């Protein structure tokens, strides 16, 4: 095993936001000299979870490994409990033990189940003895799918591929937020000509997927005029009174998160989720139950003036907005 390569990959995974348990699994695969392998992780989502798959490939000319892509898919089913896995149970003839294949990724479990030609079950649990069946197949034909599972089974969410270059690219946190529909700010982008630039990035769900079955990006460069710090200052948010908390809040929003903030409503302090709406030059507020709230009730007196100023700047900057997907180094 190439120890310099191992050290580099450890650093890359940490840069992307992956922890020691997953790094240890990577080391085990490298020690086994596995030519290609995948690692799995998950991020809690507003609804369900985002499944993350890391793809490692060994060079054909040496023992050197590359981490070249990350896949993220938003599954809105209830996340599995700790220790549980998805299972494809292949039923064998009488007198033979059934074959049980455990998988951590829902999309891969559905794909493997659908490839079966005989009798099989799709289930989840800690083991076959305590499984919960969600789909059944007889002689290669699906004859049962549980009510809660139907949407994800028949219309599974599509994964989004994020390409990596020596640890540079969208992090685990950012990728998980992008596939949930939120925007992420990147200050390390390169145009096709090699010119560095900064932009808010958002997956464009209004256009068809590309040849690799990925969504393209909608980009909003700094010329577009979206200034998250200035917008935060427009609202009566308690955390903005403390510089460290204000900086952390800004960073969280720039990474695409939906942080919980403290505002005043009906004379009482209350918690609200906050989210960027870059395309419209706004910040969106949501109650803890997910219900949208009118942002105007939390605005300072100068907030409306700032909003009008953004609208004017937005019109001026439209011709400068970077076209989606063009010249992007991510």
108 in the same domain as 163: no
Q: Are residues 63 and 91 in the same domain?
A: no
Q: Give domain status of residue 77, yes or no.
A: no
Q: How many residues make up the chain in this entry?
A: 330
Per-position pLDDT tens, the chain of length 330: 899 999 999 999 999 999 999 999 999 999 999 999 999 999 999 888 999 999 999 998 899 999 999 999 999 888 888 889 999 999 998 889 899 999 988 989 999 999 999 999 999 999 888 999 999 999 999 999 999 999 989 988 889 999 999 889 999 999 999 999 999 999 999 888 989 999 999 999 999 999 999 999 999 999 999 999 999 999 999 999 999 999 999 999 999 999 999 999 988 999 999 999 999 999 999 999 999 999 999 998 765 555 555 565 555 555 455 444 433 445
Q: Where does a domain end: 117, 143, 175?
A: 175
Q: Are residues 96 and 231 located together in one domain of the fold?
A: no
pTM of whole model > 0.75? yes
* Same domain? 206 vs 278: yes
Would 205 be classed as within a structural domain?
Answer: yes
Same domain, 214 and 289: yes
pLDDT tens column, 20-50: 999 999 999 999 999 999 999 999 998 889 9
How far apart are alpha carbons 288 and 284 in whole angstroms?
13
**Position 124 in a domain:** yes
Kindly state whether residues 235 and 330 are assigned to the same domain. Answer: yes
* 261-273 b/e (C-beta count within 10 Å ≥ 16 → b): bebeeeeeeeebb
Same domain, 13 and 148: no
Cα 142 from Cα 257, distance rounded (Å): 39
Residues 100 and 245 in one domain: no
Residue indicated by tokens 């939390």: 298
Residue 78, domain member (yes or no)? no
Residue 313 domain-assigned (yes or no) = yes
Tally of domains in the chain: 3
328, part of any domain:
yes
Same-domain status, 171 and 46: yes
3-state secondary structure at position 252? helix
**Do the domain assignments include residue 234?**
yes
Domain housing 304: 181-330
Are 137 and 195 in the same domain? no
Domain assignment present for residue 138? The answer is yes
Q: How, if at all, do strands 196-203 and 184-190 pair?
A: antiparallel
Q: CA 183, CA 18: separation in Å to the nearest integer?
A: 21
Residues 136, 44 within the same domain:
no
- Asked if 42 and 141 sit in the same domain, the reply is no
């Amino acid at each position: 095993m190439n120890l310099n390569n191992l050290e580099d990959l450890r650093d890359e995974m940490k840069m992307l936001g992956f922890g020691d348990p997953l790094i240890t699994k990577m080391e085990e695969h490298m020690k086994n000299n596995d030519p290609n392998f995948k690692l799995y992780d998950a991020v809690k989502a507003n609804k369900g979870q985002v499944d993350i798959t890391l793809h490692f490939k060994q060079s054909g000319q040496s023992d050197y490994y590359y981490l070249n892509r990350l896949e993220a898919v938003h599954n809105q089913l209830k996340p599995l409990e700790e220790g549980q896995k998805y299972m494809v149970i292949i039923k064998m003839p009488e007198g033979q033990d059934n074959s049980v294949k455990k998988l951590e990724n829902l999309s891969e479990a559905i794909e493997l189940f659908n490839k079966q030609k005989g009798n099989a079950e799709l289930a989840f649990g800690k083991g076959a003895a305590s499984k919960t069946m969600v789909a059944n197949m007889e002689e290669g034909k699906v004859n049962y799918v549980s009510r809660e599972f139907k949407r994800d089974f028949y219309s599974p969410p599509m994964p989004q591929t994020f390409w990596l270059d020596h640890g540079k690219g969208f992090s685990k946190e950012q990728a998980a937020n992008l596939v949930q529909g939120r925007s992420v700010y990147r200050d390390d982008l390169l145009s096709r000509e090699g010119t560095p630039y900064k932009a808010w990035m958002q997956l464009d769900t209004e256009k068809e997927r590309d040849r690799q079955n990925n969504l393209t990006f909608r980009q909003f460069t700094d010329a577009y005029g979206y200034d998250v710090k200035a917008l935060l200052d427009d609202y009566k948010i308690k955390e903005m009174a403390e510089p460290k908390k204000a900086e952390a809040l800004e960073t969280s929003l720039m990474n695409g998160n939906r942080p919980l903030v403290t505002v005043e409503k009906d004379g009482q302090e209350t918690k609200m989720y906050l989210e960027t709406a870059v395309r419209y030059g706004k910040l969106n507020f949501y109650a803890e139950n997910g219900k949208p709230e009118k942002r105007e009730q939390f605005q300072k007196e100068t907030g409306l003036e700032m909003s009008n100023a953004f609208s004017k700047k937005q019109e001026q900057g439209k011709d400068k907005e970077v076209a989606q997907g063009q010249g992007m180094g991510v």
